[in-house]
Amino acid sequence: MITENIVKGAHNAPHRSLYHALGLTEEELNRPLIGIVSSYNEIVPGHMNIDKIVQAVKTGVAMAGGTPIVFPAIAVCDGIAMGHRGMKYSLVTRELIADSTEAMVLAHGFDGLVMVPNCDKNVPGLLMAAARLNIPTVFVSGGPMLAGRIDGKKTSLSSMFEAVGSYMANKIDDEKLLEFETKTCPTCGSCSGMYTANSMNCLTEVLGMGLRGNGTIPAVYSRRIELAKHAGMKIMELVEKDIKPLDIMTEKAFRNALTADMAIGCSTNSMLHLPAIANECGIDFDLSMANEISEITPNLCHLAPAGHTYMEDLDEAGGVYAVLAELDKIGLLDTDVMTCTGKTLKENLEGVRNLDTTVIRTPDDPFSKTGGLAVLKGNLAPDGCVVKRSAVASEMLVHKGPARVFNSEEDAIRVIYEGGIKSGDVVIIRYEGPAGGPGMREMLNPTSAIAGMGLDKQVALITDGRFSGATRGASIGHVSPEAAKGGTIAYVKDGDMISINIPEYKISVDISDEELEKRKSETTLLKKDGISGYLRRYAESVSSSDKGAIINYK
């Protein structure tokens, strides 16, 4: 045991005295010490139930002969942070979570870990920490929220943001807006569509780091408590067998995750987080893999905001493993990879069935023959940009229109709400990238306003920032290089014609190389004032989004 170096022998008596100060008995100190990383707090709806999940994990660990010890991890609610300076502090917490977890584990020493995250940066941050620490680890999330219901139809957080756009366009009144406000998010849990939190919890299953059901069992179901107990028991098996994260999160596992990502139609943010996690595993994750895998992977799910099914529906259809079973039928997965069950993916898939082909379509009847995400390249984004293709209306897959350029989200949203965006326009929001934001804010407010006003099939939005998983429409983010680093997007002017061709993975601005060089010589890049503290340090060291917006430690 790792902890033998801390608790055994006369020279460690001072350490033992402090363990006794915690109320731990000699019997408990003779068992493996299991750190439980709790993301519980009272401000994030997806985390308010995690205390119950943690208690269940503790029970499972104790049942299997371990000693559970809890310590915390932070988390930001992207929905509450949306649309103001708080969103600058969302993505940046991913690195804080990874770093602080590393510090806690190495300072105190544990034989194994159970990570209990739920929301957007919390999940990838802890996956990054798991790879960095490389001691036996299993994940169990807090689970997704149930969908709301309005006028007999299921709703989610994206419906709420779009309702604001409809209200601004005088399409709904105060009473209807209040109804959305009070009914859209009816339970605790991560928001009910295939947004970033649920995307990452599902991909945790595919990577092999979470038990079956981790991504889909609703937060309020008792099955979630049972899952947490099993996670607590399973970590003891992983400790005994010495199965570690780097044995599980291999290059093959990441290809499986990207394949499942395409089939499920996950958030574009997965294209930030998978590279960052892979980097911690020592694996080079090239964004160009996305299009290669997309070309051969059918899109089998259209969960909100792309469609009208929700996480509870995916769970009832058999969950993530039912999707994997469909992909395995056509040979798209490497099933020899190890998982946190102590078994291979092939063993885990035995007997798994798709229980509802209206929610999880079969490969011979997909929503589309290609995957849910696409990476576009061209002179506007030489290093790439990302779009959730499965959430784009067919009439916007190929589009050409004049640029409407804004240097911040606030400037753009004001003009959108004033009715200043017309059919055919291409809204460009720049200086919102990892360094330029700083923090690479999500753009759910402007995209939802456009959708709520009925323009999502007529207007595209391009940014060096990023989009919430709740975004739908021709919303293209992660433009690299970003404006703050001198990317082409910094030199686009109002009226420049922008060409988008998602099926061919192309994006460009209709200006010559000579004109671009002329603009570069005449333009001073914008530097935002008042950036201090952690944000300043982050901006100075963060990589571009095509590299996962990771902190450059080199």
Which residues carry out catalysis?
468
> Residues 6 or more apart from 193 whose CB is under 8 A from it?
156, 157, 158, 303, 304, 305, 310, 311, 469, 470
SS3 state of residue 326: helix
What single DSSP character describes residue 267? -
Q: What are phi and psi of 511, to 5 degrees?
A: -135, 150
* CB neighbour class for 481 (10 Å; exposed up to 12, middle 13-18, buried from 19): buried
Instruction: Give the strands of the sheet with 112-116, arranged side by side.
Output: 67-72, 33-38, 112-116, 137-139
What single DSSP character describes residue 443? -
Nearest partner of 292 among 332, 321, 253, 329, judged by Cα:
332
When computed from its CA atoms, the radius of gyration of the chain, rounded to whole angstroms, is 23
Nearest partner of 290 among 246, 254, 339, judged by Cα:
254
**Distance between CA atoms of residues 382 and 233, nearest Å:** 48
SS3 state of residue 202: helix
Q: What are phi and psi of 429, to 5 degrees?
A: -115, 115
Determine the distance from the C-alpha atom of residue 386 to the mean position of all C-alpha atoms in its chain, rounded to a whole number. Answer: 14
Nearest partner of 165 among 395, 472, 408, judged by Cα:
472
Buried b (16+ CB within 10 A) or exposed e, 287-298: bebbbebbeebb
What single DSSP character describes residue 362? -
Contact 208, 249 (CB under 8 A): yes
**Distance between CA atoms of residues 516 and 379, nearest Å:** 10
Q: What is the four-CA torsion angle of 18, 23, 25, 26, rounded to 10 degrees?
A: 10
Nearest partner of 500 among 420, 370, 385, judged by Cα:
385
> Residues 6 or more apart from 268 whose CB is under 8 A from it?
373, 386, 387, 388, 466, 467, 469, 471, 475, 477, 478
Which residue type occupies 433? Answer: G
Which residue type occupies 49? Answer: N
**Distance between CA atoms of residues 198 and 206, nearest Å:** 13
> Residues 6 or more apart from 472 whose CB is under 8 A from it?
158, 305, 306, 388, 391, 392, 447, 451, 456
